[in-house]
């Protein structure tokens, strides 16, 4: 019978001893497995996973390993379960937890810092110095679910209470999985950039973070908001989410177009979400002198950068990791208030048992897939395309 020292459960939410899970074998190989249902410790809860979205970073981890780090090394063949953009229902409470109730719907952010290192004490828990050191028997407190500890491609997962965000009943499971994506955009714009209403913003790359970056920037009062990319269908969604202008970089020079659309001058802020080889150099030429560039994408290789241009023009360059400084809470508030419709980027839903198909849709962009969600509950007993 499922139990643990000081753990609170409810007969209304029976918990099995084992659960279905997907584990990473060799690169590119996911296998079905049975795992023990994890038991929450102090300041943790057990979440019954109801839905999990597939992120491009999940695909990188499954095929290549980084940025996942398990026991200080690659995540392959270590019984590791990936997946980090999930939501669900609180099913059990760890010792002393009274901040949440069993049965409460929550979405989660990825990172919980150790609370002990220099960065965590500064509030930068996404830069925790103990990243990757708590899988298995070594426990330094840090968790990054789906990166350094087991993630959400399973039926249950343990989360630190600091990573939970309560969601209203009116928010669908699918929309709730997108809070973390919006939170990443929010982190870049509010914490690192200091965006204020009336400033001009360019978002480069209309992937999920880029599209929700447009939505968040517009909701915060940015003007104009310009989105650049190569796919007209995604640029169209960007317009629906609030972009004042869109630029297809296959048809015109991105830097020239941005300056033209902003009255012949550079913008105040660029959020780089494409990871393209020349994206950083283009971004630093899109901003005005003293402007700010936020790097939110993982390039596949080393990227050339014109440092002299950055120095001459007093440009500020930031890198962000995930959705730090509780940005998910602010993103959820915007979404709950219907300040933007994040569901516009959700395109497909699959059952958890069909995860390999869901990953293929996300990876190969089958049927113009943008954000693909898998569901563990009966609501996803058959494949459904989002309306």
Please compute the mean of the pLDDT values over residues 208-234 and round it to a whole number. Answer: 96
User: Does 303 share its domain with 381?
Assistant: no
Whole-angstrom distance between the N-terminal and C-terminal Cα of the chain? 41
Is residue 125 located within the same domain as residue 218? no
* Domain end position, chosen among 319, 342, 375: 319
* Domain-located, residue 9: no
In the prediction, which pLDDT does 138 show?
54
In this structure, the answer to whether residues 189 and 147 fall within a common structural domain is no
Residue 381, pLDDT > 70, answer no
Q: Is 13 inside a domain boundary? A: no
pLDDT at 193: 66
Q: How many domains does the chain have?
A: 2
Q: Do both 145 and 246 map to the same domain?
A: no
Average pLDDT over residues 251-276: 96
pLDDT at 298: 82
**Which domain CATH number covers 154?**
3.90.180.10
Q: What pLDDT score does 83 carry? A: 97
The region of weakest confidence among 54-68, 172-186, 192-206 is 192-206
Do residues 266 and 357 both lie within one domain? no
Per-residue pLDDT reduced to its tens digit, 174-190: 999 999 999 999 998 87
Residue 212 in this model has a pLDDT that exceeds 80:
yes
Tell me, yes or no, whether 149 lies in a domain: yes
> What CATH number is given to the structural domain containing 257?
3.40.50.720
- Give the lowest-confidence range in 44-53, 195-204, 252-261: 195-204
78-90 average pLDDT score: 97
pLDDT at 139: 64
77/37 same-domain check: yes
Q: What is the pLDDT of residue 380?
A: 40
Regarding whether 170 and 110 lie in a shared domain, the answer is yes
Whether 12 is in a domain gets the answer: no
| Residue pLDDT, tens place only, 122-166 | 888 888 888 877 666 556 678 899 999 999 999 999 999 999 999
Average pLDDT, integer, range 223-252: 97
pLDDT at 105 over 70: yes
Best-predicted range by mean pLDDT (63-72, 139-148, 192-201, 263-272):
263-272
Range in 193-202, 209-218, 227-236 with the lowest mean pLDDT: 193-202
Based on the fold, state whether residues 306 and 260 are members of the same structural domain.
yes
Print the domain residue range for 339: 18-179+326-385
Of all residues in the chain, the percent with pLDDT exceeding 70 is 95
Domain-terminating residue out of 304, 319, 334: 319
């Amino acid at each position: 019978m499922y139990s643990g020292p000081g753990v609170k459960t409810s007969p209304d939410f029976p918990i099995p001893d084992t659960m279905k899970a997907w584990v990473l074998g060799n690169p590119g190989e996911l296998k079905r497995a049975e795992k023990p249902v994890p038991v929450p410790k102090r300041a943790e809860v057990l979440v019954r996973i109801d839905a999990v979205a597939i992120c491009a970073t999940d695909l990188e981890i499954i095929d290549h390993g980084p940025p996942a780090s398990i026991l200080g090394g690659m995540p392959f063949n270590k019984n590791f379960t990936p997946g980090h953009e999930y939501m669900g229902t609180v099913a059990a409470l760890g010792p002393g937890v009274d901040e949440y109730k069993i049965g409460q719907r929550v979405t989660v952010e990825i990172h919980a810092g150790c609370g002990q290192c220099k960065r965590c004490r500064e509030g930068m828990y996404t830069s925790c110095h103990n990243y990757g050191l708590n899988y298995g028997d070594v426990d330094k407190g840090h968790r990054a679910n789906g990166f350094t500890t087991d993630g959400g491609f399973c039926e249950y997962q343990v989360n630190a209470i600091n990573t939970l965000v309560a969601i209203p009943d009116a928010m669908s499971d699918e929309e709730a999985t997108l809070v973390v994506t919006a939170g990443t955009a929010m982190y870049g714009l509010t914490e690192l950039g200091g965006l204020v209403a009336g400033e001009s913003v360019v978002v480069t790359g209309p992937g999920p973070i880029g599209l929700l970056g447009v939505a968040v920037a517009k909701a915060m009062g940015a003007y104009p908001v310009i989105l650049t990319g190569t796919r007209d269908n995604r640029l169209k969604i960007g317009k629906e989410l609030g972009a004042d202008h869109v630029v297809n970089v296959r048809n015109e020079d991105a830097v020239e177009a941005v300056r033209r659309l902003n009255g012949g001058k550079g913008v105040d802020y660029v959020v780089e979400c494409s990871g393209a080889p020349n994206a950083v150099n283009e971004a630093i030429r899109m901003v005005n002198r003293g402007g700010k560039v936020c790097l939110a994408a993982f390039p596949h290789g080393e990227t050339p950068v014109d440092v002299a241009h950055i120095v001459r023009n007093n440009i500020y360059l930031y890198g962000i990791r995930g959705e730090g400084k509780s940005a998910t809470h602010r993103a959820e508030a915007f979404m709950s208030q219907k300040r933007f419709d994040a569901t516009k980027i959700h395109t497909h839903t699959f059952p958890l048992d069909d995860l390999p198909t869901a990953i293929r849709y996300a990876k190969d962009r089958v049927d113009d897939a943008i954000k693909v969600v898998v569901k563990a509950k009966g609501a996803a007993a058959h494949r459904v395309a989002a309306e």
